[in-house]
Amino acid sequence: MKPLQFDNNSSTSQTGHLHQHASYHPIVSLLISLTITTVTILIIGFFYLFFTFSIEGGQPLNEIENQHIQQFYISVLILAIAFLVAKFYLRKGKKYTALGILVLPILLVLSTSNYLLKNNFNHTPFSKTLWMQSLYKPEKMAKTLVREKKLIGLTRTQIKDMLGKGSKEYGDIGTGKSEIEYLVLNDWTMTVFFLKDKVIASELRLPYHHFW
């Protein structure tokens, strides 16, 4: 009787064949990792909105611009973590999984950096002609006036000559405090604060129902 013999090559071939069937198709791996990354980013976004959303009269310009900076840093942090996870999968030869992990974080960084540069770092010279053309004033022009404190120290007469009549005016004869509001494009409201007819502050604010 001949002893039983095992074909090692056949066994190895079958194991490899089973392993091949057990692994996902590259496109499926890409879609799975992309979906998981999307859900993770949405969850992070939900908690960010939950902790930063305010209904107390809306948000002033400086708070919103600070949020733009925070969003940029968060997106960079997400990309850094995604890069480390993708590197782990690349070492295991799963390049499509790594690609699915990196796509959205890269797009997120590009989006937040573009939005930051577009909205936080701009200077628009004041043009009285353009300002007076409509009830809703130019957004970037109003942002420059507030951000660079161009109105501080001016008198009420100078403000009305420069900006025209506001949409609303408030005043308290007893305290000498007063305000003039101007409607600005994209739901902004610019308020100029006076003390004894001299500008002491200016503010640009979004209503509470505006989402960022």
What integer is the mean pLDDT of 9-22?
Answer: 43
pLDDT at 211 over 90: no
Question: pLDDT > 70: what percent of the chain?
Answer: 84
Instruction: Encode pLDDT of 38-93 as tens digits.
Output: 999 999 999 988 887 765 557 899 988 999 999 999 999 999 999 999 999 999 99
Alpha helices for 92-186 (secondary structure H): 95-120, 128-132, 139-147, 156-163
